[in-house]
Structure 1
Amino acid sequence: MLRLLTSDLVLDEPDDFGLEDLPALCRIVNWAGMLGSRVLLSSATLPPGLIAALYDAYVAGRQHFNEVHFPHNNETGVVCAWYDENHSEVSLIHDQQTFTQACKRFTDKRLKTLTNNEDVLRKGQIVATKALPADTEEGTLGRDKGNERDQFIFKSVANTISQEIDRLHNAHYVKNESGQRVSVGVVRMANINPMIEVAKKILSTSPPENTQFHFCVYHSQFPLALRSYKESRLDSILTRYDENAFWAQPEIAKALSDSPVTNHVFVVIGTSVVEVGRDHDYDWAIAEPSSLRSIIQLAGRVQRHRKQAPAKPNIVVLDQNIRALKGERVAYCKPGFETPELPLSSRKLTDLVSTEIANISAIPRMVEPTMTKRDFMKDALPDNKSAANSVSSFVIQEHRAIRTALNVIGGDINHEQFYNSPKPASLWWDESAPIDWSAEFIKQTAFRESAPHEEFTLQLSDTGELNWGQIDQTSLPYSFVKQNNRFTTESFSLAKGNCWWFDKSAQEIFHYFAEKMDGEIESVSQKLGVIGLRESKSDRPICWAWHEQFGIYQGD
């Protein structure tokens, strides 16, 4: 808050925050208004519900500022401005209705410009994943992964992805002067552990004849040095404004010179880290669905720099995610907008979208769909009174989830017949329930509240030995305590025709950074080998699996 006294507030991509973080986001905007600061929201995909709530929060705070600094001035307006690459507007806004109308006018202009000037760069297609046998028992994600049922699901998803990788490559490759065909694609999965299982099965399957696959597994659970190295190389390779620079990249040039095969397919298999904050340009993408927001984010990484309109679909979305294939009642969550209280009516994506996948754009996020009272009303079933009616639309689901997280649905009179969040963000500034200095509300809606983590370090000794451990800070000087028993180093053999895109070992990467930092290898690895991992909820510690290319995950 002290910074807000003398600074303005810039929120970059505020719509990327999870629903659980929106109350805290609204609070800081409310405080910015109260302290007289200006607020800038920077995003191309702001939902109307979020914009309206942030405006209300700011105005409520600004009223306190005006009462103190301008007690004799009846002016209650707020200066608002809208900017994009084509237009800019500034207006003095006095009420929510005028603000909403101004937002809609600006959005309509932007949509008209975008639809008139842009080619369709991201064409999507939904593909089916083989269903489970009828006699397969249901289970729960993350449990008994080694059983026959789960392995069938992982194998089915892997087979579908492998087939689509080959098909997408043949439709969207680029050629070098020697006639070798290259494409770079991304496979985005929802969660780390299922992703590793699927990735292992993909890498255990040989590619078609005259084809070589180059794989990079990318997620958040790598030691800092290893993740940083991958990200720096991906940033360089996937900056594709200049196609000549792409062919000159060391990994691309070496792969083409080392293998005479015609087709080289470079594939990133990752989680949401591939789509958030990465300025990468891929030829094609495959997505395990979790929300329309994540599909739009991923699509923004296809033809991001070159902007070449494809003749065929360049984005494939699986018709079900792994949770749905496992038969879980709430499937499109973590990440996603489905909850037990806000259910979807189907697990199949073909039932949940209409035209949003054929031409993937930010429009479904920017324009709120027509929603009815039923979409917010409580389920009429007697055993489900605490939940809203199910809906059959990803778009409606996301916008109603945002509205529910931010506001009291139905107002003060009729809200009993509607499903309402127990802690909507508007409670903070709503005059009918003034709790704007309640520490308890802050505690219950904390920003980025997560499970406790413990920090580990992958250390490279002067003798070249890798050890997992923790830094003991209970006494000086700090000491490195080995914890190798908490990590199982796994081995893995690639099928013929598959290889690793970046094949540097952990030792080589640590030496690379030690040379750049001009430091001792043991000291550098202690600084750059760190990683925070989830603590066990029980007395029994979690034992992690570790592989230089797959990262850290929970093994069998």
Structure 2
Amino acid sequence: MLPNRQAQNRLLIYWKSRHVFYESSLQSGPISHQLAKNAHANRLLQSPILTCTIDHLMPATESLRGGHQIVPSLRLMTSDLILDEPDDFDQQDLYALSRLVYWSGMLGSRVLLSSATLPPAIIHGLFDAYYEGRKIFQKNRGAIQGKNAISCAWFDEFNCIAGDFADTDGFTNAHTQFVDKRLIKLGQMNTIVRRAEIKPLVENIAAPDLDNLPVGDQNNTPEGLLFQSVAWQLQQYSVELHYQHNTYDELSGKHVSFGLVRMANIYPLVNVTKTFLALQGPTDTVFHCCCYHSNHLLTVRSAIEQRLDRCLNRKGDKNAVFSLPEIQQSLARTSAKHHIFIVFATPVAEVGRDHDYDWGIVEPSSMRSIIQLAGRIQRHRMQSCASPNLFLLSSNIKHLQSKNNSPCFCTPGFENETFKLNSHDLFNLLESEQYKTINAAPRIRENIHLRPADNLVDLEHAHLKAIMLEAENGRVASINLWWQTQANLSAELQQAYPFRQSRPTMCYAMLLDEDDEPYFCGEGTNGKWGKPQNALLNKINIDRQNAGKLLWGEYDYLVLLEQSADNLGYTIEDCAKRFSYVELPRDEAEQGWNYHDALGFWRNK
């Protein structure tokens, strides 16, 4: 480590004055000639520093035929591997992740895991995988039998430690000591940035506002009544949080807050948002609403993410956001004194976005998602918080719809028929110290005695231990099957536990006809789009007469398309073909989809 700030500055100046020359990592020969025919493979192998999603490297162990494993394996042989947020993978993806880490050790790569919320089971399981692979690498390099110690190090904002470990026990003890010291340091911090409170979520609620919904938004089916009840409760909780955590904008003389409502799945998210927009809000209050999920046209989703990146950047001057023209224009649209900018989002808002919100509301799926979303509350400002700025709903929509005790903290989540909870009420599933002040502690340290049927945190640790450390006596398959059996001679494990197994999707696009009118179409042949399939699409209208509920930003597809074309120098038609597509579940094509520019696509029931 550099001794002081001056030394760091000198090194920075030194490197800025140097030039890096890099022409190619391969000399002319059969490999380079073959790579010249494949630009993707050439970039993957020859880039001096490669930043990519893990999907580009997974064929090293997951490819079943066609030689797709060759290039990623060559890359791993010549590079170190940095995995960002590996604990965010679904538990079923941990099998493939462990195979990749094993393979990296066998090929001689070093592996770095970057995350503040890594559970002990994942850390220890990946160490075992790497250790078993590294033993083969060292044996082939002539290492003395039994001398297989792995150099390991831990880093955080407080300290760093390092050591060589030849067995899991030594590594586990060192990791436990590091976590204990980290938690002591976190506990000594006087500033509490995030406080949480559990709020009840009930299925049916009697409220005058629900009786006054516009005719087009009334839905008296059990599902429709549930969504109306949830939307009304979210409105009450949003107002409560806004009054506690708003900022006074001196430019406009108005009180403003930015909030995030996280919901587990797209279909209920869109329906609740649609109902929320139709509800009458409190007097002198305006909601500016954004619906953010993966089922938007790429053009629209890009515009949403750029807007959120601009408006939710609170680094430096925390009030600079109020100087943005788009915020001032939104505040000037009405004379109301309270303005609530609210993002309704699926788990896409939990990771990968450097956003700072004033408050949040969570429909629970797992403790992991709660901690990740809490990290978006005051992410940049880190101000002391006296009252709760994160509300945890006591249950989720899936539980309210099921009307029984079937698993509901799943897809996403850790509950299933093997690991099943006795209750689905957070009042019964979380201890006060696990959520009152939100930090990574419940995630990075497990209880000595786990109660996976009665505690949401223990459920996650128990499920992960079963997969990563074979802790449940065969209740589920564990990752060590890859190196403790001859399974690596076949593709059985890859087929039984594939990476990112999901519902098959199809690619659709919104293109323009000769009259510049949009039409919906699917994939065609030879890389071209097919014929119009407008019958699959049910375009939804939203009552925009509600003065207390406004859309946050521009969503008109044609306007955004024109802006993209102007910025990139394309024609509107070319821009539509390149960027106006979306991937939708193949099995939903029969009933089609509802669509609105601001709400995206959701299945039509």
Q: TM-score, normalised by structure 1?
A: 0.89
Aligned pairs for 1:363-512 (under 5 A) are 363-371=441-449, 391-409=453-471, 415=473, 420-421=475-476, 423-430=477-484, 433-461=485-513, 463-474=515-526, 478=528, 480-494=530-544, 495-512=546-563
The equivalences for 1:293-332 within 5 A come to: 293-326=368-401, 327-328=403-404, 329-332=406-409
CA contact (8 A) 1:48 1:367 kept: yes
Question: What is the one-letter code of the residue matched to 1:170?
Answer: Y
Report the equivalent of 2:240. 167
Aligned twin of 1:207 = 281
Aligned residues: 515
Alignment partner of 2:184 out of 99, 106, 112: 112
**What is the match of residue 198 of structure 2?**
126
Deviation at 1:74, TM superposition (A): 4.3
Question: What whole-Å deviation, never above 9, does each CA across 1:158-211 have from its counterpart, x for those lacking one?
Answer: 111000111111110001114310000010011111111211221111211111
Change (3 A) 1:490 1:69: same
Query: What residue in structure 2 maps to residue 378 of structure 1?
Result: none
Quote the residue 1:255 is aligned against.
330
Distance 1:513 1:248 in 2: 24
Structure 2 alignment gaps of length 5 or more? 1-72, 206-217
2:81·2:109 contact (CA, 8 Å) conserved in 1? yes
Identity %: 37
1:350 alignment partner in structure 2: 427
Q: Rate the CA distance shift 1:244–1:168 in 2: closer, same or farther, 3 A.
A: closer
1:147–1:334 Cα change, 3 Å: farther
Deviation at 1:249, TM superposition (A): 1.7
Of the structure 1 ranges 252-261 and 305-314, higher mean CA displacement relative to structure 2 is found in 252-261
**Per-residue Cα deviation, 1:213-271 (whole angstroms, up to 9, x for no partner):** 10000101001110011001101110111234201222211012232211111000111
Q: After superposition, what is the alpha-carbon deviation per residue over 1:129-181, rounded to whole angstroms, capped at 9, x for unaligned?
A: 22459xxxxxxxxxxx9663222321221111000111111110001114310
1:361 aligns with 2:410: no
Higher relative contact order (CA 8 A, sep 6+): 1
Question: Match for 2:459: what amino acid?
Answer: Q
CA deviations on 1:272-307 (whole Å, 9 max, x unpaired) are 011121110000001111111111111000000001
Alpha-carbon separation, structure 2, partners of 1:53 and 1:434: 19
CA gap of 1:519–1:146, structure 2 versus 1, over 3 A, is: same
Structure 1 CA distance for aligned equivalents of residues 142 and 359 of structure 2 = 56
How do 1:89-238 and structure 2 match up within 5 A?
89-132=161-204, 148-177=221-250, 178-238=252-312
Aligned partners of 2:99, 2:569: CA distance in 1, in Å? 44
Matching of residue 87 in structure 1 with residue 159 in structure 2: yes
Output one character per residue of 1:16-40: Cα deviation in whole Å (capped at 9) or x when no partner.
Answer: 0000100000000000111111000
DSSP 3-state at the match of 2:282: coil
Residue in structure 2 matched with residue 33 of structure 1 by the alignment: 105
Distance in 2, Cα, partners of 1:130 & 1:447: 37
Q: CA deviation at 1:435?
A: 2.1
> Take 1:269 and 1:443, find their aligned partners in 2: how far apart are those partners?
36
Structure 2 residue aligned with 1:555: 604
In the alignment, what sits opposite 2:581?
A: 530
Q: Would you say the 8 A contact 2:555–2:598 is kept in 1? A: no
Find the aligned partners of 2:340 and 2:437 in 1 and give their Cα distance. 25
8 Å CA contact 2:201, 2:395 repeated in 1? yes
Q: For each residue in 1:67-103, what CA deviation from the matched residue of structure 2 results, as whole angstroms up to 9, or x when unmatched? A: 1112446421000011112211121111111100110
Distance 1:480 1:518, change over 3 A: farther
Query: Could you say which residue in structure 2 is the equivalent of 1:341?
Result: 418
CA RMSD of aligned residues (A): 1.8
The 3-state SS of whatever aligns with 1:130 is coil
Counterpart position of 1:385: none
Structural mapping, 1:278-289, within 5 Å: 278-289=353-364
The answer to whether the 8 Å contact 1:132/1:325 transfers is no
SS in 1 for 2:289: strand
Give the corresponding residue for 2:6. none
- Give me the whole-angstrom Cα distance separating, in 2, the residues matched to 1:248 and 1:290: 36
Assess, with a 3 A threshold, how the Cα gap between structure 1 residues 457 and 342 changes in structure 2: closer, same or farther: same
Per-residue CA deviation, residues 299-356 of structure 1 (Å, 9 max, x unaligned), is 0000000011222110011111011112251111111111011100101110000122
Contact 2:96 2:499 in 1 (8 A): yes
5+ residue gaps, structure 1: 134-144, 376-389
Question: What is the identity, as a one-letter code, of the residue corresponding to 1:113?
Answer: K
Distance in 2 (CA, whole Å) between partners of 1:110 and 1:479 is 54
- Could you say which residue in structure 2 is the equivalent of 1:517? 568
Shift of the 86–479 alpha-carbon distance from structure 1 to 2, 3 Å rule, reads: closer
SS at match of 1:429: helix
Tell me how far apart the structure 2 counterparts of residues 505 and 148 of structure 1 sit (CA, whole Å): 31
Helix, strand or coil at the partner of 2:577: helix
Residues 516-525 or 114-123, more deviating: 114-123
Mark the CA change 1:447 to 1:395 in structure 2 (over 3 Å): closer, same or farther: same
TM-score normalized by structure 2?
A: 0.82
